[in-house]
Chains A and B, each alone.
Chain A
Amino acid sequence: NAGVTQTPKFQVLKTGQSMTLQCAQDMNHEYMSWYRQDPGMGLRLIHYSVGAGITDQGEVPNGYNVSRSTTEDFPLRLLSAAPSQTSVYFCASRSGTVSYEQYFGPGTRLTVT
Chain B
Amino acid sequence: DAKTTQPPSMDCAEGRAANLPCNHSTISGNEYVYWYRQIHSQGPQYIIHGLKNNETNEMASLIITEDRKSSTLILPHATLRDTAVYYCIVRVGDTPLVFGKGTRLSVIA
> Are both chains from one complex?
no
